[in-house]
Amino acid sequence: MQTKLPAPMDDLLTGPVPSLVIKQVRLVDAMLTKLEGARFKIVLPDGSEFTHNLEEAPPPKEAKRREGYPFTYPRGTLHAIYQPLIQNLKLGELVEIAPPEGIDVDHLRAAAAGWASKNWGTGCHTSEVSERTGNITFMRTG
């Protein structure tokens, strides 16, 4: 079922367009232009079209891949070893971290030092690997 528009509106869509309607369309176009990236298309009943920003959309950006050293252990493995031992260290306290079988002592030491630098500040800790036992001695200094 089609609804017939009232006579004045019918004239608007089929006859010459009054200047008031043109001004309103320009105002709407100006408002929509202010919206950055707004894309729209208006199709009037007579088939005429008004478009804005409908040119070819840029291709989506590819996700950046992490460059550098690949992860050797599953995420959180090293953290679970050192964090319970060093998280509550007070100034001047010392703890010995024994790396479990299959964990590289240098990777564990670097991970613990990174955590300490982030949480306590650079230069607020010192660590060394014992040649005799292969354990990490970790001390909070500041």
Of 76, 117, 119, the residue nearest 127 (C-alpha): 117
| Cα distance between residue 121 and residue 141, in whole Å | 10
Enclosing H/E stretch for 126: strand 125-129
What is the pLDDT, as a whole number, of residue 86?
Answer: 94
What CA dihedral angle connects 115, 94, 77 and 133, to 10 degrees? 130
Q: Break the chain into its structural domains and give their ranges.
A: 16-52, 77-140
What is the pLDDT, as a whole number, of residue 47?
Answer: 81
Instruction: Please report, in tens digits, the pLDDT of each residue of the chain (142 residues total).
Output: 454 544 554 444 555 555 555 666 676 666 666 665 666 677 778 888 777 666 666 677 887 766 655 678 888 899 999 999 999 999 999 999 999 999 999 999 999 999 999 999 988 999 999 999 999 999 999 8
